[in-house]
Chain A
């Protein structure tokens, strides 16, 4: 019912441990996590190190709620499928990423109607409790709101591929 993913490069045990602790208190809610580079064992959630793209897509669409690091792949997929999404950004200061850009991503994406951003395990528990009480409400798809920015980008790429003249510099 809950699908968690932390990407594949560096460990992100802060998120996984927080989720595991919550799952220990909520054994009726099945949690499945792609743990990536984590070396730890988590007793209260089902884990797999890595999923193929098709397995990932299957798990993703079956889930009622997604818990994730602030990775754009997950954010885009959740918006497309209208999945509620809890984001915990990886932080440089904890050695969870090579830069602090996930913090920026999370800040910028917090306005999406399906996104809740949490900073730590405690906030994650609160967000999960809230989602559980509300019965994992289905988020509305963001598909309609993405097109205004996407179409101009597609056009500039199209022009570039077919060598159509376009102005070289933005304002």
Chain B
């Protein structure tokens, strides 16, 4: 296990490709000063910023149970390897899995539901309530009716 440096927090930012990833990129200024790692489903994410620490995991959802299992194993490996202090996800399923597993190693966890979910929380966000330390919706009305928090939005 690598020696921990507690001077700055180790952050693992988990997001599927596409919109989840784009939203996470909009949130990265919030991680300034931390040791930042990304986990995402799109291997080409590393093309644009090779200097950053980018880990990949298989894309999966509730309709692909076998891939979900592979995703769990891969995510567990990433978490044990990085030992993050904080895990933050913008979804989707892989983000929930990361947060569920991160609880086991004592990391603080936050799930920020995609702004695409304008009327109700995603399944991953709903599952994260009671599991993650914080669950945020980017829509005030959705937050109010679900027990999630509204703290702003990417657009």
Contacts and interface: CB of A to CB of B under 8 A. Distances in A.
Nearest to A77: B22
Interface residues of A, number: 43
Contacts of B120: 101
B44 A152 contact: no
B154 to A, nearest CB: 6
Given A77-B22, A170-B143, A153 B151 contact: yes
B83 to A, nearest CB: 15
Given A7-B18, A72-B23, A54 B154 contact: no
A71 B19 contact: yes
A20 interface: no
A131 B149 CA distance: 39
A94 interface: no
B155 A142 contact: yes
Contacts of A170: 140, 143-144, 149-151
Interface of B: 9, 11, 17-23, 26-27, 29-34, 42, 44-45, 47-48, 59, 61, 63, 86, 88, 108, 110, 112, 114-120, 122, 133-134, 136, 138-140, 143-144, 149-155
Given A76-B155, A98-B63, A161 B19 contact: no
A86 B110 CA distance: 33
A76 B153 CA distance: 12
A101 B154 contact: no
A137 B9 CA distance: 46
A150 B152 contact: yes
Contacts of B144: 170
A8 B18 contact: yes
A99 to B, nearest CB: 8
A112 B122 CA distance: 23
Interface of A: 7-9, 52-54, 57, 70-77, 79, 98, 101-102, 104-105, 107-108, 112, 142, 146, 149-158, 160-163, 168-170
A71 to B, nearest CB: 5
Contacts of A154: 27, 29-30, 152
Nearest to A100: B119
Interface centre among B32, B44, B139, B155 (most CB of A within 10 A): B155
Contacts of B108: 160, 163
A161 B17 contact: no
CB-CB nearest 5 A-B residue pairs: A153-B152, A52-B44, A72-B19, A73-B19, A157-B30
A142 B26 CA distance: 14
A156 B136 CA distance: 10
Contact of B23 (A52, A76, A142): A76
A112 to B, nearest CB: 8
B11 A161 contact: yes
B19 to A, nearest CB: 4
Q: From A102, A153, A163, name the one whose CB has the most chain B CB atoms within 10 angstroms.
A: A153
Contacts of A160: 86, 88, 108, 110, 133-134
